Amino acid sequence: MNQRITIDTPDGSFGAYVARPATTPAATIVVLQEIFGINADMRSHCDQLAAQGYIAVCPDLFWRLEPGVELTDRSEAEWARAMALYKAFDVEAAVQDIAATMAVARALDGASGKLGLVGFCAGGLLTFLAAAQIGADAAVAYYGGGIQQHLDQFKQLDTPLTMHLAQEDEYIPKAAQEAIIAATADLAQVQVFTYPGQHHAFARAGGIHYNAAAAELASQRSERFFAKHLG
């Protein structure tokens, strides 16, 4: 079952997509979008998490700029629009919106109180920032662009974190990947998986760089990780 809910903040209200499991109580996972909004891929990720037994909540993080954005990576026009939105995007405000989402998610009917985060691309960066600044029971960041610019925040990270990096990522150069791996080498709560030959967004179903095998491997690793920390 899925539904739309509204999340209220001092700055205004925004929507979120919610997918529910067959049985509750259940842990909640907040799903953080790419630069394409709550599109079919994000809703699919939520539905898959619900099938695994979680309440999945995907907030509309572009609401301050344009509510209801839903794009793909299949045309130059959509890419241009998505990049323009992200250029104007306020990351710090988004972290506060995620905090509001997490508070609502924990209190949803049927929620067990345990909460995880998972994000893709821009949402991967936001997952890391929210895990470090707010905290969660577990977090998974897929190819989070820009994490290398916030390595100092690993010092305050207590949340168990899994990171998936594509070795041929066009937006996270090898030097940035090496810096992330070095920064997490001594952190027992962090595990980093790299995917040889894969490009950015290899787990974006229907995307131009989608790779079924790599996506399935990352999904299995994430599923085991969430089961360990949210079960």
Catalytic residues, which ones?
169, 200
Dihedral (CA of 35, 36, 39, 41) sign: negative
Going through the chain in order, the beta strands assigned E by DSSP cover 2-9, 12-19, 26-32, 55-59, 111-120, 138-142, 161-166, 190-195
Closest to 206 in 3D by CA, of 75, 11, 68, 55:
75
- Yes or no: say if 42 and 58 are a contact pair by the CB < 8 Å rule: yes
Q: Retrieve residue 225's tokens.
A: 């990780």
- Long-range (24+ apart) CB contacts under 8 A made by 129-133 are 129/91, 129/95, 129/153, 130/32, 130/95, 130/98, 130/99, 130/102, 131/157, 131/159, 131/161, 132/156, 132/157, 132/159, 133/95
